[in-house]
Amino acid sequence: MVSEGQTRVPARRGPKNKLALLGGEKAVKSEQGDMFTWPIVTDQHEQAVLKVLRAGQMSGFEVTKEFEKKYARALGRKYGLAYHNGTAAILGAMYGLGIGVGHEVIAPSLTYWASIVQAYTLGATPVFADVDPDTICIDPKDIEHRITARTKAIVVVHYAGMPADMDAIMKIAAKYNLKILEDCSHAHGALYKGKEIGTFGDAAAFSLMTGKSLAVGEGGILFTDDRKVYERALLFGHYIRHDEITLKELKPFAGLPCGGFKHRMHQLSSALGLVQLELYPEAMSEIDKAMNYFCDLLDDTPEGVHRTAGIRPIRPPKGTNTTKGGWYYPHFKYVTQELGGLSLSRFSEAVCAEGSICNPGANSPLHLHPLFTTMDVYGHGRPTRIAYLDESVKIEQYIEALPVAEGINHRVFEVPWFKHYRPQIIEEHANAYKKVVENHRELLADDTGKDTEGSRKAGSQIGGYSSFFSS
Of the ranges 65-73, 112-120, 124-132, 279-287, which one interacts with ligand PLP (CB under 6 A)?
A: 112-120
Residue 276 in contact with ligand PLP, rule: CB under 6 A: no
Residue 186 in contact with ligand PLP, rule: CB under 6 A: yes
Which residue type occupies 134? D
Helix (H) or strand (E) holding 220: strand 220-224
Residue 161 in contact with ligand PLP, rule: CB under 6 A: no
Q: Which is nearer to ligand PLP, 220 or 310 (CB)?
A: 220
Binds ligand PLP by CB under 6 A, chosen from 85, 224, 267, 348:
85
- If phi > 0 it is left, if psi is from -120 to 50 it is alpha, else beta; for residue 468 that is alpha
**C-alpha count within 13 angstroms, C-beta hemisphere, residue 233:** 30
Annotated catalytic residue, options 65, 212, 324, 435: 212
Which residue type occupies 147? I
Provide the pairing of β-strand 466-467 with 375-376.
parallel
- If phi > 0 it is left, if psi is from -120 to 50 it is alpha, else beta; for residue 310 that is left
Closest separation in Å from C-beta 207 to ligand PLP: 3
Residue 39 in contact with ligand PLP, rule: CB under 6 A: no
Judge whether 419 counts as a catalytic residue: no
For the beta carbon of residue 4, count every other beta carbon within 10 angstroms. Answer: 8
Residue 220 in contact with ligand PLP, rule: CB under 6 A: yes
Helix (H) or strand (E) holding 444: helix 441-444
Closest separation in Å from C-beta 99 to ligand PLP: 16
Residue in 167, 183, 198 with CA at minimum distance from that of residue 79 = 198
Q: Which is nearer to ligand PLP, 263 or 422 (CB)?
A: 263
Which residue type occupies 437? V
Residue 269 in contact with ligand PLP, rule: CB under 6 A: no
Q: Which is nearer to ligand PLP, 82 or 114 (CB)?
A: 114
**DSSP summary character for residue 139:** -
Closest separation in Å from C-beta 108 to ligand PLP: 10
Binds ligand PLP by CB under 6 A, chosen from 19, 49, 114, 143:
114
Residue 86 in contact with ligand PLP, rule: CB under 6 A: yes
d(CA 158, CA 90): 14
Residue 135 in contact with ligand PLP, rule: CB under 6 A: no
Burial label, 100 (beta-carbon count in 10 A; 0-12, 13-18, 19+): middle
Binds ligand PLP by CB under 6 A, chosen from 63, 157, 386, 402:
157
Which residues are near ligand PLP by CB under 6 A? Answer: 85-87, 111-112, 114-115, 157, 183, 185-186, 207, 209, 220
Just list the catalytic residues.
Answer: 212
